[in-house]
Copies of this chain bind each other. A is one copy, B any other.
Amino acid sequence: MRPAKISESAVRRLSLYLRVLDAFELAGKTTVSSGDLAELGGMTPAQVRKDLSHFGSFGKRGLGYPVSELRERVTEILGLGRRWRVGLVGAGKLGAALFFYDGFRGQGFDVVGVFDNDPGKIGQHWGRLVVEDIESIDRVVRAARIEMGIIVTPVISAQSVADLLIAAGVGAILNFAPTRLRVPPGITLRNVNLEIELESLAFALTHENGA
C-alpha cells in the first residue's frame, strides 16, 4: 500500500512500535493488541491502529496483530529491510562517539566512510576504516555508494560539508551542528540540536510553577 502522506511524527512512532515488537517477540508472544503496543510505546491504542492502518490491515479483529509478521512489515515500511551506507563528516569528539557506537549497526546502518579536514586526523585508523581527507569526499562517497551523511563538524563548516555531500549524491543528512542548513528540494534533512533540547528543559523548569 502506498499511503498519500505520512506525517513525520507517525514515522517516528513506527520506529517505537518496532522496538516494542522486538521486545514482544523476544518474550515469545505471537500476537499483540493495539492496547499492548500503546501501553509500552506510550501512546493510545487508537493512534497505534490509525498509524498502522495507513499501510494496510495487518491485524485480526478480536485477536490483535501477529508479532513477527507485523515486525517484518514495519521493518519493510521504514526501509530497514536492507543495510544503509552512511558517511560521517567530522572526526571529532562527537564523531568518535557515534562511530564507535555499535547500536546503529544493529539497526542496519553501517558507517563506511569518515572524513575530516585536519591533517592530524586524516589517515588515522578508526576501526577498519581510515579517516579520509574531506577533499576526497566526492570520490569516496561514490566509490562506497554512501547514501546518508552525518555532519559533526563545527557550525562554520557545516553548510559547505552539506553541499559537498549533496553534490556527491547523498540524499539524506543528519546534522548535529547547531545551525540551519539549506538543502535543495528532494534532500532529506534532520537536525539534532542539543542546545535546543536543554533550553526546552530550562523553559519547562522556569515555567512549571506558573502552570
Task: List residues of A whose CB falls within 8 A of some B CB.
Answer: 2, 5-6, 8, 11-12, 14-16, 18-19, 40-42, 77-80, 84, 86, 93-94, 96-98, 100-101, 103-104, 107-109, 147-148, 171-174, 178-180, 186, 188, 190, 192-208, 210-211
Contacts and interface: CB of A to CB of B under 8 A. Distances in A.
Contacts of A192: 192, 194, 197
Contact of A204 (B15, B180, B188, B207): B188
A14 B40 CA distance: 32
Nearest to A106: B195
B205 A148 contact: yes
B198 A77 contact: no
Contacts of A18: 199
Given A42-B180, A94-B101, A172 B204 contact: yes
A78 B98 CA distance: 30
A11 B208 contact: no
B195 A103 contact: yes
B206 A188 contact: no
Contact of A94 (B97, B172, B202): B97
10 cross-chain pairs, A with B, having the tightest CB-CB distances, nearest first: A79-B206, A188-B204, A79-B202, A172-B201, A97-B97, A93-B97, A15-B196, A15-B199, A94-B97, A78-B203
